[in-house]
Amino acid sequence: MSAVNKFTTPSTKKLRREKTTLSNHSDSEKDSVHVYCRIRPLADSSDSSNYLKVLAPDTLALTTPDVKAIRKEIHYKFKHIFTSYSSQSEVFTHIAYPLLQDLLNGKNGLLFSYGVTGSGKTYTLNGDQNDPGIMPRCIDTIFNSLGDYQAPKYVIKSDKMNGFEIQSDDDAYYDTLHAVKNSAKPLVRKTNGEKKSYYNDGTIITNINENSLFSVFISYVEIYNNNVYDLLDESSEKSLQNKILREDCRKNMYVNGVVEIEVKSAEEAFELFNVGQTRKKMASTNLNEGSSRSHSIFNIRVVQLEQGAINTNGQPMIPTENNIKVGQLSLVDLAGSERTNRTNNTGVRLKEASSINNSLMSLRTCLEILRENQINKNNRLVPYRDSRLTFLFKRYFEGDGTIKMIVCINPSVNDFEENLQVLKFAEMTQDVKITKAEVNRYTPLKKTIIKNKENQTPHRLLKTALTPFTLLPEVPFVKLNIDNIDECRSAIEKVVKVLKFRKSKGKNIDKEIEEKQQELRKKLVNMDQQCILNNAELKSLKVLIHKEKQKSQNLQVKMNDLEVANQDIQMKNEELEDVIRSLKNTINEKDLKLNQHVLDRQRTKQQLALANEKMTHELDQKLRRQRDHLNAAMKAKDDKLKMVRGILDSETPPAEMNCIELNMDLPNIKSMGSQVTQTSKNVANACRRNVKPAARSRRSKSAGEVWLEHNVIKPCPLNTVMQPTMKKRKSVSRLDKASDITNPKQSKYCLVAQEPDTDGEIETKLYKADILPTCGGGAQVIFNDVEKLTQESPTKT
């Protein structure tokens, strides 16, 4: 039978909202959690210590290390054990294929992958392109099986409250047009990069209902740091928003506002999975380069719609009754448990590891309490709300679906302690019995029955109560008239008829009374049995209460002992505080002594500084006296030299001063500043020896000339009355380029230099020169005069 591509609806019907209902899962009352084991191949053959051995397809032996020369071998039972040579196809066939059969029949399934970091959980669920895992094989198998039995898109739509609604053809067509008008690209097209596909082996499920149409919906969420995030949510581009958990009308938990997308092919589902994978929290640790930092949950929901009657056009109509079945398969990739001493996590990674371990501990606590309640027939409250993980899958633990778990083991020596804890948890988990829920798919009639039960007037009892009890007719009172024999005869006949009727009815009444007596007896027997059971239960409860009282008394005794120990600790603490106070006082005394020592050292330093000042002052006075003596000797020599110079001047005829010419090109200009002091001294000495100074009348000619003032250093301000006269001048500190000399507007050059004389006074010297142009376009500087500006004290001796 092939599915049609379009529904037809009556003209009076626009939209029918139908709540999803969950079908009955199993006829058995209880079903244990199915736990499987898969052993990962060793990456390094030298790392194996052979502490794990597979004894049978369902038995695993673990040998503990030597402790006081004693080795212990522990056996663990599983539903099935997959060795390192088992293929992905074998794992899928044993575990996931039965879940898919239930899924297409409207039943729920939950599959966990549990183990330490790096044990192969994610690979078992996802696999790779050439060797796909459970998730890709599930998607391929679903679409291989459905084929042409899929309903048209947008006919079945999520109502955002964990349910679905059936739309008419017009509304579905309107949704399609609305998406096209708004240019709403599907979410699967927003992935960057190449599309990821998986190998399809063509597996199908044959026992599907061919009289139904199916729609497949995908959602992908993660639980990170005990917060729920939607990995397919495109509303927030920067960061994912935290989602809350809510309860629907059937007391089932769901993620509020989760994005649930209808897919029509395996490729669309894979693209959605790839989008979620890019947003999933992953990080590198010391134990695993690509470690999952959150619990990821990939949900596949298959909505099954039974076809209605066939209209005149040969197309099925939307059914008039609620015939929707919804099956859900949740594939949960649990984050691996970690030990801080091995991963050395800090900061954000440490917080993530703590959250992961807390959520796994909450899962273990819930399963332990469920197991304890079943063994001891207790009614302890299971703490589902301690973690978002357990709270979300609460309905599965209460019997609404099949639970399976894959325990992944890495047989490395370093993971021995972690594997031991994982195996203990697996052993405890498979002992938990899940009580199957009753049929929870309600038709209008069943809803009426439930309403009657709530009002404590069941339909059957109501019908019995309305049936009146049949009474026998009364015997008529007859007076016999002997005179009228006919009248007496007719009256006697009436009495006989009434008696016969009463006799016939009496038998029926006796039978009815016996039946009522038997029913009453059965009820009394049942009540007696119930009373006996209640009494036994009361006795067991009293025993439990007595045990609890003993426990509370023991705890009270322990509390008293702990209080006494606490008082002893407080007394020891006070004694230690007294010791601390005495030690602090000792430390303070030593600090005072140290401070006194420091003060003494400072005083010694001050005394040494005063002594140094006195010695420095005395040395300065000695140096000053020696300097004065040397200055007097130098002055006497200068007087003698002046006398000799005067004699020589009187004997030598006057001559013009021969000046030294300096040819200045660009390389010499750059180095002249560093040599000008020595050059100026040589020029002054040469002029002093050979010629008389020229007439000072040349100063009057400088009024209309442009001077190039070259300050080798920044000169100190001249406080003399006589100042050099340069009305038009250009001041430079360095001669970096030839244009500074070859400027045709400049005709004079003045080099300013300052140096101390023999008496320590600052003497300013002005080396004056003429700038003459050369034939090659350069300039020639000819020094012709030296002026000295100095000051002397009139009282100087």
Task: Determine the pLDDT at residue 483.
Answer: 72
Q: What is the pLDDT of residues 224-241, one digit of tens each?
A: 888 899 988 887 666 778
Is it the case that residue 660 has pLDDT exceeding 60?
no
Pick the more confident residue, 374 or 456. 374
Beta bridge partners of 222: 229, 296
Q: What is the pLDDT of residues 348-363, one digit of tens each?
A: 777 777 888 888 888 8
Per-residue b or e along 292-325, where b marks 16 or more CB atoms closer than 10 Å to that residue's CB? bbbbbbbbbbbbbbebbeeeeeeebbbbeebbbb
Tell me: is residue 119 an annotated ligand-binding position: yes
Tell me: is residue 121 an annotated ligand-binding position: yes
DSSP string, 709-750: EEESS-PPPP--SS----SEEEEES---STHHHH-TT--EEE
Mean pLDDT of 180-204: 62
Task: Determine the pLDDT at residue 452.
Answer: 35
Task: Determine the pLDDT at residue 7.
Answer: 35
Task: Determine the pLDDT at residue 144.
Answer: 92
Is it the case that residue 420 has pLDDT exceeding 60?
yes
Tell me: is residue 115 an annotated ligand-binding position: yes
Task: Determine the pLDDT at residue 137.
Answer: 94
Going from the C-alpha of 760 to that of each of 460, 620, 713, 756, 763, the distances in angstroms are 135, 15, 18, 5, 9
Torsion angle (degrees, nearest 10) of CA 781, 782, 787, 788:
70
Is it the case that residue 329 has pLDDT exceeding 90?
yes
Mean pLDDT of 710-726: 80
Alpha helix (H) residue ranges in 60-112: 88-91, 97-103
Q: How far is CA 208 from the centre of its chain?
A: 42
Residues 6+ apart with CB under 8 A from 296: 220, 221, 222, 231, 276, 280, 332, 333
* Annotation: CATH topology of 15-436: Kinesin (3.40.850)
Distance, CA of 142 to CA of 147 (rounded, Å): 9
Do 788 and 763 contact (CB within 8 A), yes or no? yes
Sign, CA torsion 409/413/415/416: positive
Sign, CA torsion 673/679/681/683: negative
Q: What percent of the chain has pLDDT over 70?
A: 76
pTM of the model: 0.52
Question: Which candidate, 764, 750, 662, 670, places its Cα nearest to that of 706?
Answer: 750
Do 388 and 245 contact (CB within 8 A), yes or no? yes
Do 405 and 91 contact (CB within 8 A), yes or no? no
- Residue 434, classed as helix, strand or coil, is strand
Mean pLDDT of the chain, nearest integer: 77
Burial class (CB in 10 A: 0-12, 13-18, 19+), 681: middle
Distance, CA of 784 to CA of 786 (rounded, Å): 7
Residues 6+ apart with CB under 8 A from 364: 425, 428
Mean pLDDT of 298-320: 65
Do 742 and 779 contact (CB within 8 A), yes or no? yes
Distance, CA of 98 to CA of 81 (rounded, Å): 17
* Annotation: CATH topology of 661-693+703-716+724-789: Immunoglobulin-like (2.60.40)
Is it the case that residue 191 has pLDDT exceeding 60?
no
Q: What is the pLDDT of residues 69-81, one digit of tens each?
A: 567 888 888 999 9
Q: What angle do CA 742, 715, 765 make, to 5 degrees?
A: 70
Per-residue b or e along 1-35, where b marks 16 or more CB atoms closer than 10 Å to that residue's CB? eebbeebbbeeeeeeeebbbbbbebeeeeebebbb
Residues 6+ apart with CB under 8 A from 102: 25, 108, 109, 327, 402
Burial class (CB in 10 A: 0-12, 13-18, 19+), 607: exposed
Mean pLDDT of 478-504: 78
Least confident window among 60-69, 127-136, 462-471: 462-471
Going from the C-alpha of 397 to that of each of 30, 376, 404, 435, the distances in angstroms are 11, 18, 11, 8
Task: Determine the pLDDT at residue 343.
Answer: 63
Residue 70 DSSP one-character state: B
Task: Determine the pLDDT at residue 504.
Answer: 79
- Tell me the backbone φ, ψ of residue 570, rounded to 5 degrees: -65, -40
Residues 6+ apart with CB under 8 A from 431: 32, 371
Q: What angle do CA 514, 519, 523 make, to 5 degrees?
A: 145
Is it the case that residue 469 has pLDDT exceeding 50?
no
Task: Determine the pLDDT at residue 344.
Answer: 61
Sign, CA torsion 585/587/593/596: negative
- Residue 4, classed as helix, strand or coil, is coil
Q: What angle do CA 417, 373, 396 make, to 5 degrees?
A: 80
Distance, CA of 219 to CA of 255 (rounded, Å): 10
Is it the case that residue 473 has pLDDT exceeding 60?
yes
Beta bridge partners of 409: 39
437 pLDDT band, cuts 50/70/90, is low
Could you report how far apart the first and last alpha carbons of the chain are, in Å? Answer: 137
Tell me: is residue 141 an annotated ligand-binding position: no
Is it the case that residue 490 has pLDDT exceeding 70?
yes
Mean pLDDT of 2-8: 36
Going from the C-alpha of 18 to that of each of 11, 15, 205, 322, 336, the distances in angstroms are 19, 10, 28, 7, 40
Do 712 and 673 contact (CB within 8 A), yes or no? yes
Task: Determine the pLDDT at residue 664.
Answer: 42
Tell me: is residue 118 an annotated ligand-binding position: yes
Distance, CA of 416 to CA of 74 (rounded, Å): 13
DSSP string, 676-687: HHHHHHHHHHHH
557 pLDDT band, cuts 50/70/90, is very high
Task: Determine the pLDDT at residue 441.
Answer: 42
Is it the case that residue 564 has pLDDT exceeding 90?
yes
Burial class (CB in 10 A: 0-12, 13-18, 19+), 788: exposed
Task: Determine the pLDDT at residue 754.
Answer: 85
Place of tokens 């199908």: 204
Task: Determine the pLDDT at residue 576.
Answer: 94
DSSP string, 494-522: HHHHHHHHHHHHHHHHHHHHHHHHHHHHH
Is it the case that residue 516 has pLDDT exceeding 80?
yes
Alpha helix (H) residue ranges in 400-484: 416-429, 444-454, 459-466
Task: Determine the pLDDT at residue 380.
Answer: 85
Task: Determine the pLDDT at residue 219.
Answer: 93
Side-chain-facing half-sphere of 469: CA atoms under 13 Å:
6
Residues counted in the chain: 797
Tell me: is residue 120 an annotated ligand-binding position: yes
Q: What is the pLDDT of residues 753-766, one digit of tens each?
A: 888 877 778 888 88
Phi-psi category of residue 454: left, alpha or beta, with phi > 0 → left and psi -120 to 50 → alpha: alpha
Residues 6+ apart with CB under 8 A from 634: 758
Do 686 and 661 contact (CB within 8 A), yes or no? no
Task: Determine the pLDDT at residue 675.
Answer: 47
